Amino acid sequence: MAADTAHSDALASLRARLADRSAVIGVIGLGYVGLPLALRFSQIGHPIVGFDVDPAKIARLNADRGFPRYVGNRREEVRFAGPFEATTDFARAADCDALIICVPTPLGRFHDPDIGYILDAARAIRPYLRSGQVVALESTTYPGTTEDDMLPAMAREDLVVGQDFFVVYSPEREDPGNASFGIREIPKVVSGVTDACLAAAEALYGSAVDQLVPVSSTRVAEMTKLLENIHRAVNIGLVNEMKTLADRMGIDIFEVIRAAATKPFGFTAFYPGPGVGGHCIPVDPFYLTWKAREYGLHTRFIELAGEINRYMPDFIVEKLMDALNGHRKALNGAKVLVLGAAFKKNIDDIRESPSLMVMERIVARGGELSYADPFVPQLVLESGHAFAAVEADAETIASQDAVVIATDHDAFDYAMILDKAKLVIDTRGRYPASEPKVTRA
């Protein structure tokens, strides 16, 4: 009875603080996921403490209390609505009623999951946990991470999960650059280690988003996020494979997709490109592939999609070389401008960007590379080659032997590009396939 009372008191107290907006929200990891989430909780009235291991980022955020976001094709400064402090001092976790972990989950050298950042965060907050707190994990990971890995890393004998404090998993669904769906509008999957933890998750996120989707376990929620991203990866792999076949057959794959998309049921349009990028689609499927081996299964479908998508930069450079040959030029020594370095249009995120892989291959084959991207002023390729962005103006376009549209930012003047370019390699279907200057890739 005493345990039940403590449980109900801790949960009731947490709910009350969340309801009256006095609860301090701590966000661990101030990147593409953590910053927008902190901003959303600030907008509804909560004091915010942001945690990160990058002192330069902390200093920058504390200096101006704002950060740039890309909405549609606009770059705008957004600012916290109330009390906000960024810190590297995890002792401040003791002041927080909710701690939301939004750290990276990269792949290791052999495509094995690296949950080290999650475990580091769990260990960092462990000494400062107290009764009445909720700890939420939002990082994408394999089923079992929350309960089998993160919880043991933060466990303390004096605190009982589901009674004294509450551990939940709620996968992030951030879509950078999407002007139609922000944190509030995207339904939020929530789960908890216990029923009381699920109730804490609903109390935490219920005021920040319009719709909650409770599920029965943290494993279900973890698998849900992986399925979402694997669905995209596999369908992008399928349409990229269809693109290579359609190209061989002399068929415009974009025309095919537009026609198929008129069917009002049973078809969802996915579009080909130079591969897949960002943190999620190239990475997350391999979390499930790795976990499946524990159960004696080999996820052939997922791995095949990854293989196809990784091939696309090579396909594009092959098309570039063929098109240059048609102009009696070799790629070695040719001036090639790549339009777009980010992995998707109208944002500045270059993580796992296939555009960079295309650039690497052009440089490796002796091309004189330059790039233009209004959101990415400079970059360094894995090979060590460093570049500063150039303007995609008429003079620059006209000076190139070929222009590769790798990321189709809205800021580019596509009519001018077509008019001034000698040769265009179009990986995004911006131009009709019948244009004589255009090679689809």
Would you name the residues annotated as active-site residues? 280
With beta carbons less than 8 A apart as the criterion, state whether 225 and 215 touch.
no
The bridge status of strand 368-372 relative to strand 378-380 is unpaired
User: Rounded to the nearest 5 degrees, what angle is found at the Cα of 209, between the Cα atoms of 207 and 210?
Assistant: 100
Distance CA(329)–CA(402), nearest Å, equals 10
Distance CA(339)–CA(390), nearest Å, equals 10
430's enclosing H/E stretch is: none
Contacts by 153-159 with C-beta closer than 8 Å and gap 24+?
A: 153/119, 153/122, 153/123, 153/126, 154/122, 154/123, 154/125, 154/126, 154/129, 155/126, 156/126, 156/129, 159/129, 159/130, 159/131
CA 262 to the chain's CA centroid: 29
Distance CA(88)–CA(431), nearest Å, equals 48
Q: Token match 């995207």: residue?
A: 186
Cα–Cα distances in angstroms (integers) from residue 53 to residues 38, 49, 91, 220, 314, in the given order? 16, 13, 13, 30, 36
